[in-house]
Amino acid sequence: MARVLVGVKRVIDYAVKIRVKPDKSGVVTEGVKHSMNPFDEIAVEEAVRMKEKKLAAEIIAVSCGPAQSQETLRTALAMGVDKAIHVEVTGKDLETLQPIHISKILAKLAQDEKADLVIVGKQAIDDDCNQTAQMTAALLDWPQGTFASKIEQSDGSLTIVREIDGGLETVKVKTPAVISADLRLNEPRYATLPNIMKAKKKPLKKVTPKDLGVEIKSHYDVVSVEDPPVRQAGSVLPDVDSLVAKLKEGGFV
Partner 1 sequence: MASLVKLAKSTLRPGIRAISTSLPSASSEVPACGYAFELNDEQKEIQSLARKFTAEEIIPKAAEYDKTMEYPWPIVKKAWEVGLINNHIPSHCGGMNQGIFDGCLIAEELAYGCTGIKTAIEASGLGQTPVIIAGNKEQQKKYLGRLIDEPLVAAYCVTEPGAGSDVNGVKTRAEKKGDEWVINGQKMWITNGGVANWYFVLARTNPDPKASASKAFTGFIVERETPGVTPGRKEINMGQRCSDTRGITFEDVRVPKENVLIGEGAGFKIAMGAFDKTRPPVASGATGLAQRALDEATKYALERKAFGVPIAFHQAVAFMLADMAIGVETSRLAWMKSAWEVDQGRRNSYYASIAKALAGDVANKCASDAVQIFGGNGFNSEYPVEKLMRDAKIYQIYEGTAQIQRLIISRAIIDMAKAKA
Q: Which residues bind partner 1 (CB under 8 A)?
A: 13-17, 31-33, 35, 38, 41-42, 71, 74-75, 78, 125, 183, 187-188, 190-197, 200
CB nearer to partner 1: give 71 or 152. 71
Q: Which is nearer to partner 1, 72 or 144 (CB)?
A: 72
Closest approach, Cβ 37 to partner 1, in A, equals 10
Report the nearest approach of partner 1 to the CB of residue 193 (Å).
3
Using a CB cutoff of 8 Å and minimum separation of 24, what contacts does 236-240 make? none
Based on CB atoms, which residue is closest to partner 1, 15 or 230? 15
Smallest distance from partner 1 to CB 34, Å: 10
Q: Do the beta carbons of residue 185 and residue 179 sit within 8 Å?
A: no
198 residue type, one letter: K
CB of 108 or CB of 202, closer to partner 1: 202
For the bound state, the minimum distance from the C-beta of residue 202 to partner 1, rounded and expressed in Å, comes to: 13
Furthest-apart CA atoms within the chain: distance in Å: 71
- Nearer of residues 34 and 104 to partner 1, judged by Cβ: 34
Which residue(s) pair with 206 in the sheet?
86
Judge contact between 116 and 176, C-beta under 8 A.
yes
Cα–Cα distance measured from residue 135 to residue 108, given in angstroms and rounded to the nearest whole number: 12
Task: Please state the closest distance from residue 62 (CB atom) to partner 1, in A.
Answer: 19
The pairing of strands 56-65 and 2-7 is: parallel
Q: In whole angstroms, how close is the CB of 44 to partner 1 at the nearest point?
A: 11
Least Å distance between CB 99 and partner 1? Answer: 20
C-beta separation of 42 from 151 below 8 A: no
Q: How many CA atoms lie within 13 A of 198 on its CB side?
A: 13
Q: Which is nearer to partner 1, 197 or 243 (CB)?
A: 197
- SS3 label, residue 219: coil
- Residue closer to partner 1 by CB (options 75, 144) is 75
Alpha helices by DSSP H, the chain: 38-52, 69-79, 91-95, 99-112, 132-140, 193-199, 240-249
Cα–Cα distance measured from residue 133 to residue 219, given in angstroms and rounded to the nearest whole number: 19
